[in-house]
Structure 1
Amino acid sequence: MSEAALDVRYSVRHGQGTISMAGEIDLTTADQLRQAASACLAKNPMNLHVDFTDVTFCDCSGLNALLWAYRQARQQGTAMHLRGLQPPVARLFDVTGTTPLFRLRDVA
């Protein structure tokens, strides 16, 4: 898979941060998630919504980047919400026991 396998977009409006992704999150693309989370969190949103609707694969590198973002968000008092987890990605969270850390919305 090439480095362009993940499209990441982010914004912060009215205290709400949003990260939307499409593609695969793996060793070569996980840093894109980390960078987007860092940029969003730098604006101190009340909530950070991470949309996985169009994410087809996530490995432990992606999970690690997400856990990094979770710790950063928690330190500054920002609630983190995940939405649109597809079954293969949701399974990663279930198997690793990390599902309870996140507020899940619209899980497929």
Structure 2
Amino acid sequence: MPEPAHSAQRLTTLDARPPCLATIEAVVAGERTDVTCRGEFDIGAQALQSELYAVLDRSATGVDLDLGGVGFCDCGGLNLLLDLRREALAQGKTVTVQAYSPAVGRLLDLTGARELFVTEDSGNSDAPAAEHAPVPDERSQAVEVDQELRLEVDQLRRAMRTRPTIDVARGIVMATFGLSAEDAWTVLVTASQNTNTKLHHLAQDLVGAVHGAQVPEELRQQMAVAVAKVRDAGPESQSPLPRPAV
């Protein structure tokens, strides 16, 4: 039976923490647990950490995430996923992503974290194919685990290092063009892709412009195109009450 979903928590006048606008639903599937996530994975989603850890603790071999219902994900959400994966490795378990929304897919691509959540087609130990799968020797396993941990540490450090600049840049876009947090994020990601520029490098350019630095002409053009595209999508794509950048 599905476990109760985590209720979204709204800010109160006495609670300065960011609101949690995400939910999860866990269903045990043999030795693994399927976890369906919905809503917005930002810094407020850190409220889900203890619940995700509890789901991981109760699973035998790990959890499989369905992120198809996550409409927004930033570095705060990515850190939540990376923390869960690190905890799973410490327990000798795995965390995989079985499905993800375009917003999550873009973030995984931009940060290079996609390979950390490779989908496992044979997650069920009862599958016939798993019985005949070749078993690597202990030396190969040790090398792979070491490389994987090194890669994860690098990704965590990059996300922690670049997050403040990216969030400041999103705030600049919100204030300059009167966009919601979600639409400002879309503008940044679109401009990043169209100029073939890493998101944190693009953010540095925008933050630098506040202090008088010159923004590259190509970036100026692509930002204008991205803003126009978001506005042309109509008011239904924008939040009536913009959420502050985190």
- Work out whether the TM-score is over 0.5: yes
Alignment pair present for 1:55 and 2:67: no
Counterpart contact for 2:97–2:119, Cα < 8 Å: yes
Aligned residue identity for 1:75: A
* Higher strand residue share: 1
On the 8 A contact 1:12/1:43 being kept in 2, the answer is: no
Which residue pairs with 1:26 in the alignment? 42
Structure 2 unaligned regions, length at least 5 = 1-9, 11-18, 121-246
2:32 matched to 1:16?
yes
Query: Take 1:13 and 1:74, find their aligned partners in 2: how far apart are those partners?
Result: 20
Cα deviation for residue 44 of structure 1 reads 4.0
The structure-2 alpha-carbon separation of the partners of 1:30 and 1:4, relative to structure 1 and needing over 3 Å to count, comes to closer
Structure 2 equivalent of residue 75 of structure 1: 90
With 2-11 and 48-57 compared, the bigger mean Cα shift is at 2-11
The whole-number CA distance in structure 1 between the counterparts of 2:25 and 2:116 is 23
2:50 corresponds to: 35
Could you tell me the TM-score, scaled by structure 2's length? 0.39
Percentage identity across paired residues of the two chains = 29
Change over 3 Å in CA distance of 1:14–1:104 after alignment to 2? closer
* Separation of aligned partners in 2, 1:25 and 1:71: 18
Instruction: State the SS of the aligned residue for 1:31.
Output: helix
Distance 1:44 1:22, change over 3 A: closer
How many angstroms does 1:16 deviate by? 1.1
Partners of 2:84 and 2:93 lie apart in 1 by: 10
Deviation at 1:77, TM superposition (A): 1.5
Give 1:13 shift.
Answer: 4.3
Give, in whole Å, the separation in 2 of the partners of 1:14 and 1:104. Answer: 17
In 2: Cα distance, 1:37 partner to 1:78 partner: 14
Amino acid corresponding to residue 81 of structure 2 in structure 1: L
Q: Which of the pair has the greater relative contact order for Cα pairs under 8 Å at 6+ separation?
A: 1
CA distance in 1, matches of 2:85, 2:116: 8
Which deviates more from structure 2 when the two are superposed, residues 6-15 or residues 66-75?
6-15
Greater helix percent: which structure?
2
CA-atom RMSD in angstroms: 1.8
* Residue 103 of structure 1, aligned match among 114, 118, 121: 118
Alpha-carbon distance in 1 for matches of 2:86, 2:79: 11
Structure 2 counterpart SS, 1:45: coil
